[in-house]
Every structure is written in structure tokens, then in C-alpha cells.
Amino acid sequence: MRVRSLHMFLALLAVAVAVLSACDRAPVKPREDTPAEARIVSVGSAVTETLFALGAGDAVVGVDTSSLFPDAATKLPKVGYQRTLAAEGILSLRPTLVLVSDEAGPPAVLEQLRSAGVRLEIVGAELTVDGVKARVHRIAEVVGRDPSKVLAELDADLTRARVEREKSTTHPKALVLYARGGGTLQVFGRNTTAETMVRLAGGENAVTGFDGTKPLTPEALAAAAPDVIVIPSRGLESLGGVDALLKVPGVATTPAGKTKRIVPIDDLLLLGFGPRTGKAALELGAKLRADGEGK
């Protein structure tokens, strides 16, 4: 009995190894030519936003779950979360190009896509203003579009944000929260995307004690003493609105809590570093100053 099963496993393994080594010897050439009808699977919110901003939105046939802007993108088939992509699902959309942020993965799936002969392009996911511009350039080049209009608009917005920032006399200390349901509040510390955005908007990060994000504690809140609390709107919803946030221990006693200066802002606008980054800086700046100068 066990000898028979042994033989079966040996046979199975032998077949597997034979078939697979046969596959290995037949590398598939990526299709570099641009066919009449491009079909793009876009992974990463910034990648998707950039594609649509460049006017290539019509060619997008699938996006990842983080691509929530523009609305047209949300109506497309979803290929899953960007770090747990599935090669087969992507291939079932018959893409001519798979454009992913360099956060996409797992690496083995990217390798599968390459070995299936699909053109795979990886775009830097650097979360800075330079990163935004580099992304626009790169994606425009890959899909053969002119980036100048998008870049000009971005630069104009960023310049306006800088003018506003320099004109303003106040530089509110902002604390940026990240919420996913009650009980899981995170604070953005130094060297975070949120800090970059707050600075572009003319504020300062109230949190200076640590790098990266950390769970929120009442002590940390008191130490930061923020004038304003900025929170991504979807996060605020998951928490249960402004009133629920004010009930989080420690929030009510901060200057921001006492004056109820809670600023919700669209998640992807604030943290997505897509082509709307200039607009995000303008909007956040206006919100940071609006209440403050009124008092």
C-alpha cells in the first residue's frame, strides 16, 4: 500500500519537474509594441490618478482596491489589494500593460506576470513632491502621453500654496491622525507623508517625538498640544464622526479639542501623492488657516 503511494508521489513529482523545466526553457518575450487598443491594469492610487489625469483613463480596464479616485476608476473591476495581487485575475482582464507602484506585490506574482509575457512597468512610489513629478513623467512616457499640462497645473497649485504659506502669519501645529475603526488610532510622527503635506500647507507637525506612525496615547496627545487635528475623512467616518473623535481620551483637553478644530480631508487627497498633491496643499492650507484666523 505505502509502496504504491510512494510510486504515485514520485511519478507526480517527476511529471511536475519535467513540465516545469520545460516551461523554464521557453521564455516568453514581452510584447513591447503598442497595439491599436491599449488595455491597462493600474495598481496603486497614485498610478491610477495619474493615468486618468493624463487622459489615459479610457484604456484602464482594472484597478487595485486603493484606487478610489476618480469615480470612473471605482467602477472598474478590482484586482485586489496592491500587496496581494493575483496573477491570474490580472491576466483574465487581457491587459497589454500592467502598471504598478513599486509597493505592489508579492514579488512572486510580478514574476509570474512577467513570465506570462505581459508588459509590466513599475513606477516609483516615493511620497514627496519630487516623487509626484517623477511619476507623472514616467507614466506619461510609458503610455505615450504629453505630461506638460498635468505638470503645469501641479506647479501652478504648488506655487499658489507657497504664496499662501508665505503670506500667512500663523503656522498652526497640526496633529494628523490615521483611523481605521474605533480603537486603532495612529499618529503621524516625523518623516511621514502627513508631515510633508502639513508643511506644504503652511502648518507644522505637532508631533516631534518619534519617526513614522505610532498608536495614539493620551500622553502623546497632551505632549503634542496640537492647534488643529487633521484626520482623513474615511477614517473619521469609521470612527463615528467629530463627536466620537472628541470623546477619544486625551483629545478634548488639547487646544484643538477645546476649540473643536477638527479638519477632515479626503484620504487620497491628503496621503495619496497623486497629481492632485498641489490642490491638496491648497485645500489643507485653507482649512488650517480658516478657523485659526477667525478667532
Partner 1 sequence: MPATAEAAAMGQRGIPPRVARRAWTVPALSAVLLVAVVTSSSVGSVPISLAEIGALLLQRLGLATASAAVDTHAEILFAIRLPRVMLGVLVGAGLGLSGASMQGIFRNPLVDPGLLGISTGAALGAVASIVLGGKLAHGIPPALAPYVLPAAAFAGALVAMMAVERIARVGGRMVVATLLLAGIAVNALASALTGLLIYVSNDAQLRTITFWSLGSLGGATSRTVVATAVFLGIPLLLLVRYGGALNALLLGEAEAGHLGVDVERTKRTMIVLVALIVGAAVAVSGVLGFVGLVVPHLLRLAVGPDHRQLLAGSALLGASLLLGADAVARTLVSPAELPLGIVTAALGTPFFLALLLRERRRLA
Residues that bind partner 1 (CB under 8 A): 1-2, 4-6, 8-10, 12-13, 16-17, 19-24, 26, 28, 62, 65, 77-81, 83-94, 103, 105-109, 111-112, 115-117, 178, 186, 212-213
Cell matching residue 157: 497649485
Nearer to partner 1 among residue 92 and residue 208 (C-beta): 92
Nearer to partner 1 among residue 53 and residue 104 (C-beta): 104
Smallest gap from Cβ 200 to partner 1, in A, equals 21
Nearer to partner 1 among residue 10 and residue 290 (C-beta): 10
Reported for 243-248, long-range contacts at CB under 8 A and 24+ positions apart, including other chains, are 244/182, 245/177, 248/185, 248/216
Nearer to partner 1 among residue 29 and residue 167 (C-beta): 29
Nearer to partner 1 among residue 213 and residue 238 (C-beta): 213
CA 30, chain centre distance (Å): 27
Smallest gap from Cβ 27 to partner 1, in A, equals 10
Residues 6+ apart with CB under 8 A from 275: 49, 50, 53, 132, 136, 150, 153, 154
Smallest gap from Cβ 4 to partner 1, in A, equals 6
Nearer to partner 1 among residue 103 and residue 153 (C-beta): 103
Do you find a cis peptide bond into 255, omega within 30 degrees of 0? no
Smallest gap from Cβ 9 to partner 1, in A, equals 6
Smallest gap from Cβ 29 to partner 1, in A, equals 11
Cell matching residue 79: 484586482
Q: How many CB atoms lie within 10 A of CB 59?
A: 16
Smallest gap from Cβ 87 to partner 1, in A, equals 5
The closest of 174, 245, 184, 249 to 215, measured between CA atoms, is 184
The closest of 157, 151, 144, 155 to 97, measured between CA atoms, is 144
The partner residues of 204 in beta bridges, in order of sequence, read 173
Rg (CA), the chain: 24
